[in-house]
Amino acid sequence: MVKELTEIMLMEKKTLEDLLVLLEEQYNYIMKKDVFALEDIVEKIKLSNKEIAKQEVNRRQLVGNEKMQDIINNSNDKDLSLAYRETKKIIESVRQQKDTNELLIKQQISFNAQILNIINPKREIKTYNSYGSLSK
């Protein structure tokens, strides 16, 4: 089981590295404001996520309900331990890159909304209410 789990962890690590490369590519497109390239890379990211999910399912089928940390500690296998630690590092890198990309996209959307409000302000007729203040 340890050997199979090590192989699955290494495959999972490889797919996570591929996802990290895609997220870094997405970051570059965000910074360049290349909307069409951003649209294209979304499909690649989805496919990468599906591949990661397949690896995760394989690992869970092998492990069952046992915690990975317990398996690592009980196995005393250096290769498995190394693969696990490297996978955790890559997961954290992926999480940070994803959060950065999301923040930049949200920031751009907010900026675009503000620009649109400046270009095309609301033209509602404002009236006074019974308290003497403007109502919308």
Interatomic CA distance for residues 128 and 103, integer angstroms: 40
**CATH T-level assignment (fold) for domain 2-135:** Methane Monooxygenase Hydroxylase; Chain G, domain 1 (1.20.58)
pLDDT of residue 103 exceeding 90: yes
List the chain domain ranges.
Answer: 2-135
Q: In the prediction, which pLDDT does 113 show?
A: 87
Identify the band that residue 136 occupies on the pLDDT scale cut at 50, 70 and 90: low
Please write the tens of the pLDDT for every residue from 19-39.
999 999 999 999 999 989 999
- Cβ burial, residue 58 (10 Å; 0-12/13-18/19+): middle
**pTM attached to this predicted model:** 0.80
